Amino acid sequence: MLYVEKNQDGEIIAIHPAPNKKATEQKSVMDKELIDFLNNNIDNDPWLKVLSMSDMSTVRILEDLIDLLIRKNVILLTELPEEAQTKIRERKMARQKISGHEFIVDNII
């Protein structure tokens, strides 16, 4: 899901990966209004922006899923390649410092 920023006429003027003061309305990537906006703004390559924003949220979900599987003893962190273990630890520490311990996957289950 993406958040759209609209002008006074109710037209989408920007898209964001998270809500903010200007972008509070949530839209699916398949929403007709959002698709029209993307198709009309091809010169800025908005589809790449959508994919990039989607990648960010997908990575967050995957991190939470891995953490959940480890907490439930389905997998062990040490079963993952060393490089993956390091990246997971680094991102987990950064997320804890920034936003506390909020897990997307826990909210879904």
**What contacts 79, CB < 8 A, 6 or more positions away?**
none
Tell me: do 108 and 61 sit in the same domain.
yes
pLDDT of residue 42: 61
Tokens of 72: 């439930």
State the residue range of the domain holding 28.
1-44
pLDDT of residue 70: 92
Tell me: do 39 and 61 sit in the same domain.
no
pLDDT of residue 57: 74
**106 in a structural domain:** yes
pLDDT of residue 91: 82
Report the C-alpha gap between 101 and 37 in whole angstroms.
Answer: 35
Tell me: do 60 and 16 sit in the same domain.
no
Tell me: do 35 and 62 sit in the same domain.
no
**50 in a structural domain:** no
pLDDT of residue 102: 53
Residue 8 DSSP class: T
Strand 12-16: give its sheet, edge to edge: 12-16, 2-6, 25-27
Number of domain units in the chain? 2
pLDDT of residue 44: 62
Q: Which residues of the chain have pLDDT under 50?
A: 106-109
Question: Can you list the positions of beta strands (E) in the chain?
Answer: 2-6, 12-16, 25-27
Tell me: do 109 and 62 sit in the same domain.
yes
Tell me: do 101 and 72 sit in the same domain.
yes
